[in-house]
Amino acid sequence: MLDELSTGKYTKREMFRMYGINSSTLNDWIRKYERLDLMNTRIMVENKDDLTKVKQLEKEIAQLKKLILKKDMDQLISESYLEVAAEMLGLKNVTELKKKLNIKL
């Protein structure tokens, strides 16, 4: 049910009606399964400065998400290089290669 909600195909209100549950039940499940991205979030914009700040923060969040994705990809590539190197050197695994090269595990 949470997967359906995350696709955006249905709103929470539509989900309540389809499955015959109340809002607190759905919110409890969201918290239980740590899907806080599905919780309703309200941002009160009081003036133009607030709106500018919200847009700036949203842009910063998008940049940080891209940075995290890049870091994860870089780490995956590094691990892949180490796996190939270990195999080419006839070592059992990457851990053995790291020990041999004195790289922190």
Radius of gyration of the chain (CA): 23
96 vs 103: CA distance, rounded Å: 10
- pLDDT grade, residue 102 (50/70/90)? confident
Q: Residue type for 1, please?
A: M
Where on the phi/psi map is residue 90: left (φ > 0), alpha (ψ -120 to 50), or beta? left
Q: Considering only CA atoms, which of 12, 43, 9, 11 is closest in space to residue 28?
A: 12
Between 103 and 76, whose confidence is greater?
Answer: 76
Instruction: Round the average pLDDT of the chain to a whole number and report it.
Output: 84
**Interval 41-65: pLDDT, tens:** 555 667 778 888 888 999 999 999 9
**Interval 72-86: pLDDT, tens:** 999 999 999 999 999
Model confidence at 40: pLDDT above 70: no
Residue 33's pLDDT is 80
Residue located via tokens 């109340």: 22
56 vs 58: CA distance, rounded Å: 5
